[in-house]
Amino acid sequence: MSGTLPAALAERGHEVVVVTPRYATVSRQGLYFRGTLWLHFPYGAQWAEIWEAEVSRNVRTLFICQPEYFERDGFYSDKGVEYADNHRRFAFFSMAALSAAHMLGVCPHIVHLNEWQTCLAALALRRGYESTQLGRAKTLLTIHNLAYQGTFPSWAVNELGLPWELFSPEGFEFWGQLSFLKTGLVFADALSTVSPRYAREIQTAEFGFGLEGMFQKRALSLRGILNGIDDKVWNPADDVHLSAPYASYSKEDLSGKEACSQALLEQFGLSSAPRRPPIFGTVGRMVEQKGVDLVLQAIPLLAEAGARIVVVGTGERRFEEAFKAMAQRFPGKVGVFIGFDEALSHRVEAGSDFFMMPSKFEPCGLNQLYSLRYGAIPVVRAVGGLEDSIKDTGGEAGDEVSTGLKFGEFSLEAFWAALQRALALFEKPEALKAFRKRAMSEDFSWGHAAGEYEALYQSLLDVDSASHHPG
């Protein structure tokens, strides 16, 4: 989002400045130095260098360079264990981002915050910058995944120098802890999340992670906007990752997709005799949220039905080991790659007939959007952005509306019923071809989403926010 939404907004004539930590993976090549700033917290003083890159016309990116905080192996954790000083790291980042803007004379109309890591900036704009031009900016907080909230022990309030009068249920206190996310929910002028359905779901106990009351209270300021994808990077007609034996293809000429399927089977050592079997792919994080336990339970059923299964991802060790065990149990039928591989992700989408995404919850989801683009029919659970982006009449394979296959209940029985529909569809080549073309005709580029964000920004400027800001 931080890469593609700004570009789409710039195309609409807006000037956009992106501020991000300079993580270890970011090269300094092409960056130029803009200055040094110092911030003072009760735990001590800390410096940062500001580096800038001009990404494209009307888009600038400022990097907060602080090696002690941001040049680490992981962004937020090390081998699954959260960094103990994350409260310091992202309090520092939030303050440094505002200080850098102030230092460079950036005076935005809108400060768009993303996730808990940026939420203290909403408080700072109300308390520390309220008398400056920067303090006149309206704030929008986008929640991408409510499962991650940035909660820390109450002693962090003193370490960061936050006002204790706000450590209350009406402020940033959450069950006796300091919640960065709740700070944003209280102080931001407006809230958004990454699909309309998820905006409704987080107002319920099932999906609200204890904050459903806050979202209900701010329902009039909450908006759901479905994410887009970079349709220049994810384009089977012009994909740099689909070199031979893979092949490019389009909805007008699907012949290259069959070449991709054969190449994927060969790459994973999966058998294709006596005739090419249906291929079910999945790519992503191996965590409970993604429903990987359902995928693991379904693999033996799919293998017995004659399908081939390709799994790419990384995550919890127990899931990684379980998938590797499946590959050993079903040689020639199940292929597994543990790790992150951008090129392989594209090839799985290109070579798969169906893409499995049975998430427990899904704020937006991107892989189902990639799958539509690549004609890999998504098999998804009807939650969050999956429900919003995939059409399924529930009828026969030959309908003229469906772009994917959905199921409701989070159970193997419901998931397997959807997978059986996929197996039946594969046996009807003409119906499958028509299904693919419908899926590939869907448009989930950032252009539409950028228009919705533009309208939301304008609404904040047109009228005062209805939000109440304590203190």
Domain hosting 16: range is: 4-228+448-462
- Do 329 and 197 share a structural domain? no
pLDDT, tens digit, 9 for 90 and up, residues 165-195: 999 999 999 999 999 999 999 999 999 999 9
* Exposure string for 172-203, b = 16+ CB within 10 A, e = fewer: bbbeebbbbbbbbbbbbbbbbbbbbbbbbbbb
* One domain for residues 216 and 298: no
3-class SS of residue 67: helix
| SS3 per residue for 253-297 | CCHHHHHHHHHHHHHCCCCCCCCCCCEEEEEEEECHHHCHHHHHH
Q: Tell me: do 377 and 322 sit in the same domain.
A: yes
Give yes or no for a contact between 397 and 376, defined as CB atoms under 8 angstroms apart. Answer: no
The answer to whether the peptide bond before residue 277 is cis (omega within 30 degrees of 0) is no
Question: Residues 7, 59: contact at Cβ < 8 Å?
Answer: yes
90 pLDDT band (50/70/90 cuts)?
very high
In a shared domain, residues 302 and 193: no
> Does residue 243 lie within any of the structural domains?
no
The answer to whether residue 137 sits within a structural domain is yes
Same domain, 205 and 56: yes
Q: Are 403 and 442 contacting, i.e. CB atoms less than 8 angstroms apart?
A: yes
Does 70 lie in the same domain as 207?
yes
Q: Which amino acid is at 149?
A: Q
Give the separation between CA 403 and CA 424, rounded to whole angstroms.
Answer: 15
> How many domains does the structure of the chain reveal?
2
Over range 312-341, report the average pLDDT: 96
- Is the pLDDT score of 468 beyond 70? no
Is there a single domain that holds both residue 431 and residue 455? no
Q: pTM for the full model?
A: 0.89
Asked if residue 347 belongs to a domain, the reply is yes
CATH code: domain of residue 405:
3.40.50.2000
Find tokens 């533009």 and name the residue.
454
User: Quick one: 42 and 133 in the same domain?
Assistant: yes
Q: What is the pLDDT of residues 203-243, one digit of tens each?
A: 999 999 999 999 999 999 999 999 999 989 999 999 999 99
DSSP alpha helix (H) spans, 134-178: 156-160
pLDDT, mean of residues 157-162: 97
What type of residue sits at position 416? W
* Residues 224, 117 share a domain: yes
Same domain, 216 and 167: yes
Assigned token pair, 321: 């080991």
Query: Do β-strands 308-315 and 334-338 pair in parallel, antiparallel, or remain unpaired?
Result: parallel
Categorize the per-residue pLDDT at 44 as very low, low, confident or very high, splitting at 50, 70 and 90. Answer: very high
Residues 426 and 454 in one domain: no
pLDDT tens-place string over residues 307-317: 999 999 999 99
pLDDT at 345 over 50: yes
Residue 41 lies in a domain: yes
Decide if pLDDT at 51 tops 70. yes
Report pLDDT for 465: 44
| pLDDT-wise least confident of 338-347, 364-373, 459-468 | 459-468
**Could you tell me if residue 185 is inside a domain?**
yes
In a domain, 171, yes or no: yes
Let me know if residue 470 belongs to a domain: no
pLDDT at residue 139, as a whole number:
97
Residue 209 lies in a domain: yes
223 and 308 inside one domain = no
